[in-house]
């Protein structure tokens, strides 16, 4: 390592001291990590987030970056809130951490979790995915600008298929905020594959996809009108951004790593270092290419700024609840009660 002379004078004794400390003192204090590091993935095994963390797990193992294995625990359900809550309540010793994307912000904003980024110690942000807005190939719209004009002239007519409360929903909310008085009609369609089927079948007018999803689906009869990044996506250099079309909306997806609140600083920096070294491996660089993710890593001040920006972006976003839905749960309760009475009668007369 090259260091200027003056710094070297300070650095070398310090490094020696650290070495001595590591050799003699750590066994007494308990070196971190002293047991496997569990990463909670709040989505099902085999899904996008799970695959993402498994790539890290593999790279860390193959390059011997950590003396302890990385263990993945899938705690799926309810938009990631069950897993994130488990992580929040875990022992803050650095051995249990969470990997959760922008869903951590949106779940809190939507009201499905009363905890959010502020209830964790951020470790790092790794990997950025762009987001695109797409329509079916028979759509009358050829640009986002046209589409948003129409959403303003005829509010609540264009159907946006989404996963309510998830980051994808917020892409649309940011679009609305970027074009005053424009309104979509939202409907629940679930994950990326289901959105594609609905868009192709003409059941919805538009939706959002990650760049990776769009890359996968683009030849099935759908077309992107804009990407939502600050700059154009490197995978689709000819696709205009929303800003270039005068719609002031930006959105993208980052994967964040979180530790429970009060996890000691040394453990956090160990994990930051581990993730940084993993990001530098060839395996991860290659996999990120196939996943169409930008191999960025943020720690320290950059990370805090990203988190603050994202929280700020959500301020002033108002979620309008969709059409009043039938209270099916109460209807079913009534039907069950009626059936119960009939069965009672049957039993008595028998």
Partner 1 sequence: MIDLFSTTSILGLVLLGTTLGITVGAIPGLTGTMLIALSLPLTFSMEPVSGLVLLVAMYVGAVSGGLISATLLRMPGTPAAIMTTLDGFPMATSGQPGRALGLGVGASLVGGLVSWFALWQLAEPMAELSTKLGPFELFSMVILALAMLAGIGDSTRARGLLAGSLGVLVAMPGMHPASGELRWTFGLTFMNEGFRLIPVLIGMFAIGKILQDVTSKDGKIEEVSGNDSAWVALPVWLSNLFNLVRSSLIGTFIGILPGIGANIGSLAAYMAAKRGSKQPEKFGKGSEEGIIASEAANNATVGGALIPLISLGIPGSVIGAVLLGALIVHGLQPGPLLFRQNPEAVHAIIGTVLVANVMMFIIMVGCAKWIAKLSSIPKKILFPLVTGCCIWGAYALNGMWFDVLVMLLFGIIGWQMEKARLPLAAFVIGFVLAPIAEENLCAGLMASGGSYLPLLSRPISLCLIISAVMLIIWKRKQKESSTDPPQS
Interactions with partner 1, residue window 14-53 (CB under 8 A): 44-48, 50-51
Cis peptide before 33 (omega within 30 of 0): yes
Both tokens of 256, joined, read 């964040």
Are the C-beta atoms of residues 199 and 134 closer than 8 Å to each other? Answer: yes
Dump the DSSP string for 236-278. -TTSPBTGGGT-----EEEEEEEEETT--HHHHHHHHHHHHHH
When asked if residue 1 is in the footprint of partner 1 (CB under 8 A), the reply is: no
Q: Footprint of partner 1 on residues 113-152 (CB under 8 A)?
A: none
Q: Does 75 bind partner 1 (CB under 8 A)?
A: yes
| Contact (Cβ atoms closer than 8 angstroms) between residue 124 and residue 302 | no
Beta strands in the chain, from DSSP E residues, in sequence order: 37-41, 70-74, 96-101, 120-136, 159-162, 185-188, 206-210, 222-227, 252-260, 294-298
Residue 55 makes contact with partner 1 by CB under 8 A: yes
Q: For the segment 213-232, give every residue that binds partner 1 (CB under 8 A).
A: 215-220
Taking the complex as a whole, the smallest distance from the CB of residue 271 to partner 1 amounts, in Å, to 21
Query: At its nearest, how many Å lie between partner 1 and the CB of residue 200?
Result: 4
- When asked if residue 235 is in the footprint of partner 1 (CB under 8 A), the reply is no
Q: Is 54 in the site for partner 1 (CB under 8 A)?
A: yes
Residue choice 6, 13, 237, 329 for contact with partner 1 (CB under 8 A): 329
Would you say 75 or 242 has its CB closer to partner 1? 75
CB of 334 to partner 1, least distance (A): 9
Element holding 56 (H helix, E strand) = helix 48-62
In the complex with partner 1, which residue's Cβ is closer, 189 or 272?
189
Pairing outcome for strands 252-260 and 96-101: antiparallel
Which one of 105-113, 173-181, 237-245, 255-263 is the stretch in contact with partner 1 (CB under 8 A)?
A: 105-113
**Inter-residue contact 268 to 95 (CB < 8 Å):** no
Q: Could you say whether residue 261 binds partner 1 (CB under 8 A)?
A: no
Return the range that interacts with partner 1 (CB under 8 A); candidates 96-104, 126-134, 198-206, 300-308. 198-206
**Backbone angles phi and psi of 87, in degrees to 5:** -65, -40
C-alpha 11, offset from chain centre: 39
Sites for partner 1 among residues 279-308 (CB under 8 A): 286-287, 290-291
Site for partner 1 in 176-195 (CB under 8 A): 185-190, 193-194
């Amino acid at each position: 390592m090259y260091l200027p002379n003056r710094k070297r004078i300070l650095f070398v004794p310090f490094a020696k001291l650290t070495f001595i400390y590591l050799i003699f003192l750590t066994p007494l204090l308990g070196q971190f990590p002293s047991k496997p590091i569990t990463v909670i993935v709040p989505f099902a095994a085999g899904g996008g987030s799970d695959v993402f963390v498994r790539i890290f797990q593999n790279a860390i193992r193959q390059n011997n970056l950590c003396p302890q294995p990385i263990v993945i625990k899938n705690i799926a359900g309810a938009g990631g809130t069950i897993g994130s809550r488990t992580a929040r309540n875990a022992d803050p010793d650095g051995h249990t951490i969470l990997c959760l994307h922008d869903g951590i912000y949106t779940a809190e904003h939507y009201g499905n979790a009363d905890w959010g980024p502020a209830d964790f110690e951020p470790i790092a942000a790794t990997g950025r995915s762009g987001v695109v807005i797409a329509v079916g190939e028979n759509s009358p719209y050829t640009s986002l600008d046209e589409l948003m004009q129409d959403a303003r002239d005829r509010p609540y007519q264009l159907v946006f298929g989404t996963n309510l409360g998830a980051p994808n929903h917020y892409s649309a909310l940011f679009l609305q905020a970027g074009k005053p008085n424009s309104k979509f009609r939202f409907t629940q369609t679930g994950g990326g594959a289901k959105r594609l089927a609905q868009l192709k079948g003409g059941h919805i007018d538009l939706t959002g996809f990650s760049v990776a999803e769009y890359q996968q689906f683009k030849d099935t009869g759908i077309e992107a009108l804009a990407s939502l990044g600050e700059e154009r996506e490197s995978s689709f250099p000819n696709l205009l951004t929303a800003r270039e079309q005068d719609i002031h909306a930006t959105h993208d997806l980052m994967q964040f790593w979180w530790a429970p609140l009060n996890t000691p600083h040394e453990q956090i920096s160990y994990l930051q270092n581990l993730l940084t070294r993993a990001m530098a491996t060839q395996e991860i660089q290659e996999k990120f290419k196939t996943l169409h993710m930008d191999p960025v890593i943020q720690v320290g001040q950059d990370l805090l700024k990203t988190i603050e920006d994202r929280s700020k972006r959500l301020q002033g976003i108002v979620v309008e609840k969709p059409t009043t839905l039938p209270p099916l749960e109460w209807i079913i309760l009534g039907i069950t009660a009626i059936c119960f009475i009939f069965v009672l009668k049957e039993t008595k007369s028998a």
